[in-house]
C-alpha cells in the first residue's frame, strides 16, 4: 500500500504511511543539520532547516502520534476478538511505548533546534539526533509491516471513516 496513492482523509491508513515518508524526509534533514552545524555553525540555511524541522515534528509529527494513539489503536482494539486480541494489545502497547520514547528523545534536543532557528550558535548532539531518527525508522517499519496491514484487514469502512474524520478535525479541516 504505497503512501502516496489515495492519501487523504477518506483513506486514513494511506495517510499514515504518507506521513511516514515525510517523517523520513524530515529525519534526513535533521541528520544533515547536525552535521552541517559542525562545519558551518548557525548560518541562514541551518536556521531555515531547523525551523522547518521544528514545524513539522511539533505539528504533523505530533498529530501523527495522536491519530494512532487516540483513534487507530482504540479502533483496532475494539475490532479484534478472540486470541488475536492479546496480540493486538501487545503490539499497540509496544507502539505506544515507542511513541513516548520518541517524544522523550525529541524533547532532548527540541529547545536547541528552536535556538538554532532563531540564529543562536548551538550544536546538536549527533548521537541524540541519530538515536531519535533510528527510533522513528524502526517504529515506522514495525507499523508498516504489522499495524497497517492488520488495520486494513480488521477495520471496516465505518471505522476508517471515523478515523479519517478525527484526523481531519485534529488538523482543523472540515471533512464529511
The CATH number assigned to the domain holding 140 equals: 1.20.120.520
**Domain assignment present for 54:** yes
pLDDT of 12 strictly over 90: yes
Among 50-54, 68-72, 122-126, 146-150, where is mean pLDDT lowest?
122-126
**Domain assignment present for 5:** no
**Domain assignment present for 1:** no
**Domain assignment present for 43:** yes
**Domain assignment present for 3:** no
**Domain assignment present for 6:** no
Number of domains into which the chain is organized = 1
Per the structure, the complete domain to which residue 147 belongs is given by 12-170
Buried b (16+ CB within 10 A) or exposed e, 115-143: ebbeeeebebeeeebebbbebbeebbeeb
Mean pLDDT of the chain: 94
In this prediction the pTM is 0.92
pLDDT of residue 20: 97
pLDDT of residue 5: 54
**Domain assignment present for 52:** yes
Ramachandran sector of residue 115 (left: φ over 0; alpha: ψ -120 to 50; beta: rest)? alpha
**Domain assignment present for 4:** no
pLDDT of residue 96: 98
pLDDT of residue 84: 87
Amino acid at each position: 500500500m504505497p503512501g502516496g496513492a489515495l492519501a487523504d482523509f477518506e483513506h486514513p491508513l494511506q495517510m499514515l504511511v504518507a506521513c511516514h515518508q515525510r517523517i523520513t524526509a524530515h529525519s534526513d534533514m535533521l541528520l544533515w543539520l547536525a552535521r552541517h552545524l559542525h562545519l558551518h555553525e548557525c548560518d541562514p540555511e541551518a536556521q531555515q532547516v531547523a525551523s522547518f524541522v521544528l514545524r513539522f515534528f511539533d505539528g504533523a509529527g505530533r498529530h501523527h502520534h495522536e491519530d494512532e494513539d487516540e483513534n487507530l489503536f482504540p479502533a483496532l482494539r475494539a475490532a479484534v476478538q478472540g486470541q488475536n486480541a492479546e496480540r493486538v494489545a501487545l503490539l499497540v502497547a509496544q507502539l505506544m511505548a515507542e511513541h513516548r520514547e520518541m517524544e522523550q528523545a525529541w524533547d532532548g534536543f527540541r529547545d536547541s533546534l528552536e535556538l538554532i532557528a532563531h540564529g543562536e550558535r548551538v550544536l546538536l548532539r549527533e548521537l541524540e539526533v541519530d538515536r531519535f531518527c533510528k527510533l522513528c525508522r524502526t517504529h515506522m517499519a514495525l507499523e508498516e509491516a504489522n499495524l497497517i496491514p492488520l488495520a486494513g484487514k480488521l477495520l471496516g469502512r465505518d471505522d476508517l471513516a471515523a478515523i479519517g474524520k478525527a484526523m481531519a478535525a485534529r488538523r482543523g479541516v472540515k471533512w464529511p
